[in-house]
């Protein structure tokens, strides 16, 4: 490595201070992915000789980081085998009881299973129940997501944030967490979040329409793109005579013809072969549109026809999907999923324009015309998260799969009595899943989130380098901290809480960790006294939909806005903070 600078300790302190603030600014700006921000700063430090590659090597095989990735893979196996579809039977029939039981079940599951698939599995159940009883679904989905966030604080494995922080501590010679260190404060904050959401969610999330029209009021709007079949029943007719003028809750917004958009569309306009018609309307109406004119309208391209259309369903694009950032026409979507995208919604609003040119983002809702092979192909690919209910082809494992749950219990027993490490236990569970035919190595490889793994490595490596060089300690000693250790810990908690609501939890932990390590030395405190507040501060993501993956997932189905998150999230955040500090100090 060429020495570009005279690496005096003082210069290194200031270089890392600049790097630290560049990371914070880059993450708060929001224009770049967290992985790219950390990669740019870490690479600059390595190339200039201020950071060693050894930190990257050591972090890549950090047991806590590997455990995070293994647990994510294991969750995909568990959701195929555990009877999640029976949860709806225990949620109750009264509105208040339904909300309470949903929160309790979600929090309990999230304490042991990655909360993203937990929320994904519960969304269709809640939608079905709400529709059955004419309840506004918006009253339940945000409390669902908040319960998942709070429940993740109950155990060490409840959220990746806890495991990443644990990895940072062990990597820097600090005693790590024990599995149940989070239990008591986790129960405090979970109780506070559930109490607050049950008490005020029905009021602050109240929509303009209630009662029998609640479900109708919350139907999501899509812009759907269909073509006029050459020689079909629509060609040569006017919009009015073709029956497209007075459709129930559907509106023909514009026509695309010969490279130009025609809008507004008049009743006397004549339809021509291969005209592309853009309809705006609610899901249920769009669902009937394809069947209403089977010989007059078709999906956008003939090559996109699926194998025996089964139904229109809604799916959500997860944050690890390889579809993100690419125009749809370049994704080979139909062949991969046996489905055609007929509508896209983002942030509660339909996206207009040609569907093939849309570049998807995490959290987008897709309206699919799905073929009979969609479910099987979706499991084979990086799965899209199904938002609405569809028929299950099987409710219990067959063949070798029936041995998975007994084998799982044996592994759990072995881990408890033989004191196996968490990584070894999860690894054995994944091998059991492969042996029982629940999953296979190629699928696990496809679902491996390389971007998340890179972010974990880079953020932990940066935090370790800051602590090892004593850079945070140098600046901590230059400023005036409160003389009372409890006041200092409160400030650390609030700083982490602020960061996590405007960037990813992992990023917030990576930034807060070196500060916490320096404060631990400054106040001569134990590791739990300092790092549990950091863990709980990093899990307090309630103010913005972008602060947590499950919030993005429920934003479209619940028809929420940023303002809705602020109205419920702020009081929940206050109660969460009070409960956490009460339990930790």
Domain ranges of the chain: 1-32+42-51, 66-212+402-447, 220-386
pLDDT of residue 411: 93
d(CA 132, CA 119): 20
Dihedral sign (CA 179, 183, 186, 191):
positive
Of the pLDDT bands very low, low, confident and very high (cuts 50, 70, 90), residue 382 is: low
Place 492 in a pLDDT band, splitting at 50, 70 and 90: very high
Q: Is the pLDDT reported for residue 211 higher than 50?
A: no
Q: How far is CA 480 from CA 9, 231, 488, 519, 523, in A?
A: 22, 81, 10, 12, 13
Rounded Cα gap, residues 143 and 146, in angstroms: 5
Backbone angles phi, psi at 32, to 5 degrees: -115, 150
Structural contact between residues 107 and 150, judged by C-beta atoms closer than 8 angstroms? yes
Rounded to 5 degrees, what angle do the CA atoms 137, 138, 144 make? 90
Q: What is the pLDDT of residue 353?
A: 65
Q: How far is CA 445 from CA 213, 440, 448, in A?
A: 46, 9, 5
Task: Report the alpha-carbon distance of residue 428 to residue 498 in Å, rounded.
Answer: 38
Q: In this predicted structure, what is the pLDDT of residue 288?
A: 63
Residue 281 pLDDT greater than 80, yes or no: no
Distance CA 36, CA 464 (A): 18
Average pLDDT over residues 446-456: 83
Angle at the Cα of 167 from the Cα atoms of 435 and 482, rounded to 5 degrees: 155
pLDDT at 2: 47
pLDDT in tens, 345-381: 776 677 766 677 788 887 788 888 777 788 778 777 6
Q: What is the mean pLDDT of residues 218-240?
A: 79
Q: How many CB atoms lie within 10 A of CB 132?
A: 11
Residue pair 257/329 in contact by the 8 Å Cβ criterion = no
pLDDT value for 325:
79
Q: How far apart are alpha carbons 552 and 558 in whole angstroms? A: 10
pLDDT by residue (tens digit) across 532-559? 999 999 999 999 887 888 888 888 778 7
- Identify the band that residue 413 occupies on the pLDDT scale cut at 50, 70 and 90: very high
- pLDDT exceeds cutoff 50 at 394: no
- Residue in this structure with the two tokens 């679904």, named with its chain if needed: 137
Q: How far apart are the first and last CA of the chain?
A: 46
Round to whole Å and give the CA distance between 552 and 529. Answer: 32
Mean pLDDT of the chain: 82
Chain centroid to CA 105: how far?
Answer: 19
Contact 251, 258 (CB under 8 A): no
Task: Give the rounded percent of residues in the chain with a pLDDT score beyond 70.
Answer: 86
Whether the per-residue pLDDT at 107 is higher than 90: the answer is yes
Return all residues near 103 (Cβ < 8 A) that are at least 6 apart: 143, 144, 147, 194, 197, 198
Six token digits for residue 117: 């698939």
Most confident of 24-33, 179-188, 273-282: 179-188
Q: What is the DSSP string of 540-560?
A: ---S-GGGSHHHHHHHTTTT-
pLDDT over threshold 90, residue 73: no
Strand partners, 367: 314, 343
Report pLDDT for 209.
38
Helix (H) or strand (E) holding 252: strand 250-257
Tokens of 507: 């990023």
CA distances from 182 to 156, 187, 528, 531, 580 (A): 7, 8, 10, 11, 11
Beta-carbon contacts of 114 under 8 Å, excluding residues fewer than 6 positions away, are 71, 72, 75, 160
For 51-65, 102-116, 214-228, 396-410, which range has the lowest pLDDT when averaged over its residues? 214-228
pLDDT band at residue 497, thresholds of 50, 70 and 90? very high
Asked whether the predicted pLDDT for residue 196 surpasses 70, the reply is yes
Q: Which of 367, 225, 371 is nearest to 299 (CA)?
A: 225
pLDDT above 90 as % of the chain: 30
- Residue 282's φ and ψ, nearest 5 degrees, are -75, 160
Tokens of 179: 């599995």
pLDDT given at position 119: 86
DSSP for 192-223, please give it. Answer: HHHHHHHHHHHHHT--S--GGGHHHHTPPEEE
Query: Per CATH, is 220-386 categorized as 3.30.70.140?
Result: no
């Amino acid at each position: 490595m060429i020495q570009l600078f005279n690496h005096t300790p003082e210069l290194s302190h200031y270089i890392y201070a600049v790097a630290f603030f560049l990371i914070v600014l880059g993450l708060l700006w929001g224009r770049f992915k967290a992985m790219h921000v950390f990669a740019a700063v870490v690479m600059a430090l390595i190339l200039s000789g201020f950071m060693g590659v050894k930190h990257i090597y050591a972090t890549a095989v950090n047991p806590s980081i590997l455990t995070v990735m293994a647990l994510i893979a294991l969750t995909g196996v568990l959701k195929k085998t555990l009877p999640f579809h029976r949860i709806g039977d225990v949620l109750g029939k009264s509105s208040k009881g339904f909300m309470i039981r949903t929160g309790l079940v979600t929090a309990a599951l999230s304490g042991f299973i990655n909360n993203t698939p937990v929320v994904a599995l519960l969304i269709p159940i809640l939608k079905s129940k709400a529709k059955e009883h004419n309840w506004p679904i918006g009253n339940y989905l945000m409390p669902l997501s908040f319960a998942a966030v709070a429940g993740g604080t109950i155990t060490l494995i409840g959220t990746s944030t806890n495991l990443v922080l644990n990895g940072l501590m062990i990597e820097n010679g600090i005693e790590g967490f024990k599995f149940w260190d989070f239990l008591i404060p986790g129960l405090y904050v979970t109780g506070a979040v559930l109490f607050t959401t049950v008490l005020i969610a029905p009021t602050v999330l109240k929509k303009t329409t209630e009662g029998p029209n609640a479900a109708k009021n919350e139907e999501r709007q899509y812009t759907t793109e269909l073509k006029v079949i050459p020689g079909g029943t629509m060609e040569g007719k006017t919009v009015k005579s073709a029956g497209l003028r007075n459709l129930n809750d559907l509106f023909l917004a514009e026509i695309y013809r010969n490279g130009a958009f025609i809008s507004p569309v008049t009743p006397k306009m004549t339809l021509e072969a291969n005209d592309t018609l853009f309809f705006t309307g609610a899901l249920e109406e769009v669902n009937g549109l394809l069947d209403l004119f089977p010989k007059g309208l078709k999906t956008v391209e003939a090559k996109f026809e699926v194998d025996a259309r089964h139904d229109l369903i809604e799916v959500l694009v997860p944050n690890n999907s390889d579809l993100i950032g690419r125009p749809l026409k370049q994704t080979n979507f139909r062949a991969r999923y046996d489905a055609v995208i007929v509508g896209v919604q983002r942030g509660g609003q339909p996206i207009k324009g040609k569907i093939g040119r849309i570049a998807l983002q995490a959290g987008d809702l897709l309206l699919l015309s799905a073929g009979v092979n969609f479910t099987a192909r979706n499991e084979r690919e990086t799965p899209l998260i199904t938002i609405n209910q569809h028929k299950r082809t099987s409710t219990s494992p067959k063949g070798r799969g029936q041995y998975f749950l007994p084998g799982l219990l044996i592994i759990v027993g072995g881990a408890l009595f033989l004191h196996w490490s968490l990584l070894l236990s999860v690894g054995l569970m994944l091998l059991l899943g492969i042996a029982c035919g629940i999953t296979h190595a190629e699928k696990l490889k496809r679902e491996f989130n390389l971007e998340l793994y890179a972010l974990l490595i880079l953020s932990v490596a940066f935090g370790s380098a800051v602590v090892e060089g004593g850079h945070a300690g140098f600046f901590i000693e230059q400023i005036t901290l409160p003389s009372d250790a409890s006041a200092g810990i409160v400030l650390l908690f609030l700083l982490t809480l602020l960061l996590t609501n405007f960037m990813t939890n992992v990023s917030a932990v990576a930034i807060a960790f070196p500060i916490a390590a320096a404060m631990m030395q400054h106040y001569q405190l134990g590791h739990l006294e300092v790092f549990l507040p950091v863990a709980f501060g990093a899990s307090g993501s309630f103010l913005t939909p972008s602060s947590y993956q499950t919030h993005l997932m429920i934003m479209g189905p619940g028809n929420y806005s940023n303002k809705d998150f602020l109205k419920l999230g702020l009081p929940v955040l206050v109660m969460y903070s009070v409960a956490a500090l009460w339990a930790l100090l």
